[in-house]
A and B are shown apart, each in its own frame.
Chain A
Amino acid sequence: MSEMLLEVRGLKKYFRTPGGMLHAVDDVSFTIEAGKTLGIVGESGCGKSTLGRTVLGMLDATEGEIYFEGRDITQLRGHGKKALHRDMQIIFQDPYSSLNPRQCVFDLIAVPLKVYRECHGKDALHRRVTGLMETVGLAKRLAYAYPHELDGGRRQRVGIARALALNPKFIVCDEPVSALDVSIQAQVLNLLQDLQDEKGLTYIFVTHDLSVVRHISDDILVMYLGIAVEKSNTKELFKKPLHPYTKGILAAIPVPDIDVKRERVLLCGELTSPIEPKPGCRFANRCPHSEQACRLEEPVMEELLPGHFVACRRARDLNGI
């Protein structure tokens, strides 16, 4: 078994709101091997972005531990944290709001290099930035263009170049292609995969788009209202989803093939509030199979099949395991 690059144990992130504690991430654990991609899937408000950011230390964890290359990084502050961010970077969802509109492409990509004093002298900086632009497929002539002059795909390439600037080992991709058109989305996905092959990068890929996550991830973690409901490798998850929620979202994706008539498992209702959630399974009120007991006791993540974890009391009898 190859080395675990990242290990997260019992991670919790709560936010204080006027209505009470908002449980954005509640007791989530996972590991990622070096060079692999973990997809984190869920609907809006399920805590997937918060999870990505807490792992990076952009948000302080309420509870739990995060190990990066075997080292506990949960409590890192100041210099330690800054040094850590050489190895851990993020690509943001919205290339429109994550770039300073008053900086040109060159300056935007140079920021991380300057902050970390990576390059000595103007020439060295120039070489590095041009090299990065080439890596992500940005034409040289765009070096002095401002974000408003670029289309979404190119802006996202600037975001990727910034994330790559310090040669990180690990990148959280927070919905990097959601704002892009399909043809451009495919270009950016290919770029991310090429970079992974070339540099041996490890990704957390946060998205709500299941067809994208299926394409790019090795393993998938499905989240619902702050909790992890299912965790497995990608093939297995799509072939044999065990959690009723996973089944529901898989059945809800429209398939671009007119010969495939999908089986409808319509999930009724909508997400409930993650503020001071009641005990019991958080999915119970939308679940077609929920019983009285589901509403009372919290389900525990169990390994039902080898490498396939699910948090559902009834998963065993529903799937005949």
Chain B
Amino acid sequence: MSLLEVKDLTIHYLTDDGDVSAVNGISFSMEKGDTLGLVGETGAGKSTTALGIMRLVPNPPGKILRGEILFDEEDLLAKPEAEMRKIRGNKISMIFQDPMTALNPVMRVDEQVAEVVKRHSGLNKSDSLRRALDMLQTVGIPPERGGDYPHQFSGGMKQRVVIAIALACTPQLLIADEPTTALDVTIQAQVLDMMNDLKQEFGTSMILITHDLGIVAETCDKVAIMYAGKIVEYGSLRDIFKQTAHPYTIGLFNSLPPASSDVKRLKPIPGLMPDPTDLPTGCSFHPRCPFCQELCTEKAPEDKIISPGHSIRCHFYQELKEKRPVAEVGK
């Protein structure tokens, strides 16, 4: 039984300037204990997907048009808001990208952690505070700093507080939206290590949203590559890194500065992300794709399973495989 199953989720932002197709019918499922990496560039729809699962898409202008989100076999989209509130922060919680804005600047950090404990566990104020201090300790903040305010912490420490809030009720699913993008490399390594340990300890499943393939390689079991609101490639870590199939994923890998410094020029993906109010016909990636053919401009490719657990959206996968020397893929 899957912990989370998303089926044909479609989220648009209906704005005065047009209909922004942020998420266009994505489907995936997650087993208990999995870490799924949701990878893509700005505007790919990663964060909107996460907000959709939390039912936090700002409405208006955001609107979930279609789809099902089955969590523990219950459809979250069918739940009334009051029910959703009992789930958020309790069974599913989220870590936001920017710890500077995710915390309340005029509230002590221990109270911010205790708030969520009190709401979901029914403990009284002093017990929830005690629980909050334990939680802060778990994420590496000494209890004597519990009475401090967010501005007294550094970026890395603030993100630890955010993580403490997210994990306070031992959620079954944790959605981490670029949790380390705002942090320096050494602090990033500390935070990622800690998240991995806590995930093991609490048996939490995680959706990790990131644009950094290095972080994906180190933390995820499954990877979904998103482009223009669709999952263009989905597979296990090994599938994505070693059997890279979709031209966009290949382009992403080729854009990274290589580890061996002998390569003088990078091979970027030409062109830009398409305008989400006016997506190209057919395959959204076709204007930037080096292998584009006529069919690609006319018909959107269906999800094709190319090996167990590895699926892609591309018409010419077979042809590509023959054309492309294997050595070029996945450095």
Contact = CB atoms under 8 A, between A and B. Distances in A.
Top 5 A-B residue pairs of the complex, sorted by shortest distance between their CB atoms: A254-B214, A186-B268, A215-B257, A252-B189, A186-B255
Contacts of B212: 254, 256
Given A183-B251, A183-B268, A270-B187, 5 more contacts: A193-B264, A252-B189, A253-B214, A254-B217, A255-B217
Interface stretch (B64-72, B96-104, B235-243): B235-243
A257 B154 contact: no
A238 B237 CA distance: 27
Given A182-B255, A183-B268, A258 B186 contact: no
A141 B216 CA distance: 39
A166 interface: no
Given A43-B185, A238-B261, A258-B217, A270 B272 contact: no
Contacts of B292: none
A28 B148 CA distance: 36
Interface stretch (A83-91, A123-131, A205-213, A309-317): A205-213
A257 B215 CA distance: 10
A284 interface: no
B84 interface: no
A181 B261 contact: no
Interface residues of A, number: 42
Residue from the set B241, B257, B272 with the largest chain A CB neighbour count within 10 Å: B257
A208 B261 contact: no
Contact of B265 (A185, A190, A248): A190
A26 to B, nearest CB: 19
26 contacts: A43-B186, A181-B273, A182-B211, A183-B269, A184-B41, A185-B255, A185-B268, A186-B255, A186-B269, A187-B268, A187-B270, A189-B257, A193-B264, A193-B265, A211-B256, A212-B257, A249-B186, A252-B186, A253-B214, A254-B218, A256-B256, A258-B238, A258-B242, A264-B189, A267-B189, A270-B156
B261 A235 contact: yes
Interface in B125-166: 154, 156-157
Contacts of A44: 184
Contacts of B252: 182-183
B213 interface: yes
B297 interface: no
A153 interface: yes
A182 B256 contact: yes
Contacts of A238: 261
A250 B11 CA distance: 40
B19 interface: no
B193 interface: yes
B327 interface: no
A215 to B, nearest CB: 4
Given A193-B265, A254-B218, A257-B259, A266 B189 contact: yes
A214 interface: yes
A162 B156 CA distance: 36
Contact of A186 (B184, B189, B217, B266): B266
B215 A254 contact: yes
A256 B269 contact: no
Residue from the set B41, B237, B254, B331 with the largest chain A CB neighbour count within 10 Å: B41
Given A210-B185, A215-B258, A266-B190, A257 B251 contact: no
Contacts of A268: 190
A46 to B, nearest CB: 9
Interface string A38-68: 0000011000000000000000000000000
B185 to A, nearest CB: 4
Nearest to A234: B261
B257 A43 contact: no
